[in-house]
């Protein structure tokens, strides 16, 4: 066994000889949070049980995370890990592992649920319970021969896990009620105090006939709610069917893991500075920082954006990225911001990451279901229910895995305190309730404040054409998502085309007015405003339709 430090986590390599084939199992932590939160870890990764007659082997690993749950009472849901793997042959490029449709081995007390596209697996409790969930000897069967891998090839495998929350099938409401003044809110025409009830995935009629879904159209350039046209097709994900949502926004270290599995051309596309082949010196080493309104490429971690590369990089081949929030050029120290929400991704960066992981963007109807659950709306309601907000003012253990707030009552990062994103899931602490942890009805964290949620809108045709197809783990050679009917930008797009490309904003960010419409569940002030540049307020969160 060989131990080495890389990418801010311990990587354990095991060389196993099956006949003449050597597999190297590598541990990577994906989405770990602090010990006071969920702390998902995957360890002891190896390839075992090779069958050369049928060309398969098992990807074996141990998995653990804290504050796990499954409940058969309200909210009738569970959390889970979305587990997927990448492989390369020799020193070649990284490819996505397509799992076998059956033959996986789940330890007692757990369930492995593999979707029909075989891109990854959901792993979760098989019975009610809560607390730390630890299982050893999970085995995912991989038919490596179907990927063109020979029995004697040298293969390296990385295993990743993303914390998810299950949102069960069922009807729900969108909009607000009497007394609500959320901008752009959905309602049942003609009464803007009557929310709209979504009872299936069938087509929804939009318009000025009694009983239709409707919402206030944009009246100024600063309120972009949509065109009030329709219908919303049956193929658009409405949130009635069950789906999984990432428990929190993508942290810096997860985006680093993503970058470090790309080719040089793809890395150059998914960062903001010039890192193309042939470049050997980098001045603006914090590679995500870029503001479109006043372009800034930065040699310091602006807005706590800690992802960087070295000043001197290889002339050819992939670059190694890491976190360095304290700007001392030492990789992945305890206070280097690995667990802060990844800031500055463009829409195309976010879509590439979701495609690479096998997830997809959420719809704005799924956003409201994820926040409110099946409950009837409350006027001017925040994602944590009827409770009033309490904003963060200071940070303890800044930049560390246990970064937290000194005020025990704070439940969100907003209104410029601090003027940057914080650690994902920071407000979920032992003993906190839904309000104090800033959690949605289903236990999803940071859906208001920190960084903008960017769901697919119902407010224009490009958004309504979204069909909810999942990523397949494979990017274009240039590093872009290539999934049919996902909103995307293209070179030369006009401002109007970008505005209407299909994405939007919900939930606010760290500089949003905590008392404004933006932070409310029903607030749709920018719900149909497409945008692609990298800005200091954007984040990444994905979903996946349940198998």
CA distances from 187 to 241, 439, 523 (A): 21, 24, 12
pLDDT at residue number 219: 67
Q: Does residue 173 lie in a domain region? A: no
> Tens digits of per-residue pLDDT, 161-193?
999 999 999 999 999 999 999 999 999 999 999
Q: Does residue 411 lie in a domain region? A: yes
CA separation for the pair 337, 504 (Å, rounded): 27
Cβ proximity of 412 and 391 under 8 Å: yes
Query: Do 509 and 379 reside in the same domain of the chain?
Result: yes
Distance of CA 323 to the CA centre of its chain: 19
Confidence band of 43 (pLDDT split at 50, 70, 90): very high
Q: Does residue 377 lie in a domain region? A: yes
> Tens digits of per-residue pLDDT, 193-247?
999 999 999 999 999 999 999 998 776 767 799 999 999 999 999 999 999 999 9
Q: Does residue 174 lie in a domain region? A: no
Give 138's contacts (C-beta < 8 A, 6+ positions apart): 60, 61, 62, 63, 83, 105, 106, 107, 110, 112, 123
DSSP string, 392-446: ----BSTTSTT-B-S-TT--B--SSSSSS--BTTTT--TT--HHHHT--TT----
Query: Do 366 and 385 reside in the same domain of the chain?
Result: yes
The domain containing residue 411 runs over which residues? 179-251+346-547
CB atoms within 10 A of CB 129: 13
Domain boundary residue, one of 99, 133, 167: 167
CB atoms within 10 A of CB 333: 17
Query: Do 392 and 524 reside in the same domain of the chain?
Result: yes
Domain boundary residue, one of 167, 199, 216: 167
CA separation for the pair 237, 545 (Å, rounded): 9
Q: How many domains is the chain built from?
A: 3
Query: Do 458 and 472 reside in the same domain of the chain?
Result: yes
Query: Do 454 and 530 reside in the same domain of the chain?
Result: yes
Q: Does residue 172 lie in a domain region? A: no
pLDDT at residue number 218: 72
Confidence band of 99 (pLDDT split at 50, 70, 90): very high
Q: Is the pLDDT of residue 429 over 90?
A: no
Query: Do 471 and 368 reside in the same domain of the chain?
Result: yes
What mean pLDDT do residues 399-407 have? 89
Give the β-pairing of 154-167 and 186-188.
unpaired
Query: Do 247 and 257 reside in the same domain of the chain?
Result: no
Cβ proximity of 345 and 255 under 8 Å: yes
Query: Do 391 and 267 reside in the same domain of the chain?
Result: no
Q: Is the pLDDT of residue 118 over 50?
A: yes
CA separation for the pair 409, 433 (Å, rounded): 11
Cβ proximity of 475 and 481 under 8 Å: yes
Query: Do 500 and 452 reside in the same domain of the chain?
Result: yes
Query: Do 391 and 530 reside in the same domain of the chain?
Result: yes
H/E element, 48:
strand 41-51
Query: Do 225 and 106 reside in the same domain of the chain?
Result: no
Average pLDDT, the chain: 90
Question: Cα-Cα-Cα-Cα dihedral of 228, 234, 238, 239, to 10°?
Answer: 170
Cβ proximity of 165 and 97 under 8 Å: no
CB atoms within 10 A of CB 544: 25
Domain boundary residue, one of 147, 167, 187: 167
Query: Do 273 and 237 reside in the same domain of the chain?
Result: no
């Amino acid at each position: 066994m060989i131990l080495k430090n890389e990418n801010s986590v311990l990587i354990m390599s095991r060389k196993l000889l099956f006949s003449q084939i050597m597999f190297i199992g590598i541990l990577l932590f994906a989405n770990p949070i602090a010990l006071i939160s969920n702390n998902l870890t995957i360890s002891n990764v190896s390839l075992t049980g090779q069958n050369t007659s049928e060309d398969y082997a098992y990807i074996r690993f141990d998995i653990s995370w804290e504050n796990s749950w499954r409940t058969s009472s309200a909210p009738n849901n569970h959390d889970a890990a979305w587990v997927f793997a990448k492989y390369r042959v020799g020193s070649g490029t990284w490819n996505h592992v397509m799992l076998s449709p059956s033959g996986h081995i789940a330890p007692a007390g757990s369930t492995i649920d593999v979707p029909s596209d075989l891109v990854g697996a959901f792993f979760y409790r098989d019975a009610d319970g809560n607390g730390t969930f630890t299982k050893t000897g999970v085995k995912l069967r991989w038919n490596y021969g179907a990927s063109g891998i020979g029995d004697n090839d040298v293969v390296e495998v990385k295993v990743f896990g993303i914390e998810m929350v299950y949102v069960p099938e069922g009807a729900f409401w969108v909009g607000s009620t009497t007394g609500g003044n959320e901008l752009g809110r959905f309602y049942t025409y003609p009464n803007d105090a009557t929310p709209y009830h979504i009872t299936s995935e069938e087509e929804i009629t939009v318009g000025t006939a009694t009983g239709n879904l409707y919402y206030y159209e944009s009246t100024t350039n600063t309120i972009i709610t949509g065109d009030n046209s329709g219908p919303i097709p049956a193929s658009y994900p409405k949130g009635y069917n069950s789906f999984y949502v990432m428990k929190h926004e993508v942290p810096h270290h997860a985006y680093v893991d993503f970058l470090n599995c790309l080719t040089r051309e793809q890395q150059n596309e998914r960062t903001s500075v010039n890192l193309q082949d042939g470049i050997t010196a980098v001045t603006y080493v914090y590679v995500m920082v870029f503001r479109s309104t006043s372009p800034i490429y930065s040699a310091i971690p602006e807005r706590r954006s800690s992802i960087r590369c070295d000043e001197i990089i290889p002339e050819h081949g992939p670059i190694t990225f890491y976190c360095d929030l304290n700007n001392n050029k030492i990789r992945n120290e305890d206070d280097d911001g690995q667990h802060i929400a990844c800031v500055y991704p463009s829409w195309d960066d976010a879509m590439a990451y979701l495609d690479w992981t096998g997830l997809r963007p959420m719809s704005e109807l799924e956003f409201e279901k994820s926040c409110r659950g099946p409950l009837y709306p409350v006027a001017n309601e925040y994602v944590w229910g009827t409770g009033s907000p309490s904003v963060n003012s200071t940070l303890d253990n800044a930049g560390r895995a246990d970064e937290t707030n000194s005020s025990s009552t704070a439940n969100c990062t907003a209104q410029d305190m601090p003027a940057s994103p914080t650690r994902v899931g920071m407000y979920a602490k032992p003993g906190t309730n839904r309000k104090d942890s800033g959690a949605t009805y289903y236990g999803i964290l940071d859906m208001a404040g920190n960084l903008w949620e960017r769901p697919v809108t119902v407010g224009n045709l490009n958004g309504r054409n979204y069909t909810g197809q999942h990523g397949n783990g494979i990017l274009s050679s240039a590093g872009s998502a290539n999934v049919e009917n996902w909103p995307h930008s293209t070179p030369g797009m006009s401002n109007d085309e970008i505005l209407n490309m299909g994405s939007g904003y919900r939930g606010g960010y760290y500089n949003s007015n905590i008392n404004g419409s933006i932070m409310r569940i029903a607030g749709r002030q920018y719900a149909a405003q497409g945008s692609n540049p990298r800005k200091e307020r954007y984040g990444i969160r994905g979903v996946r339709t349940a198998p």
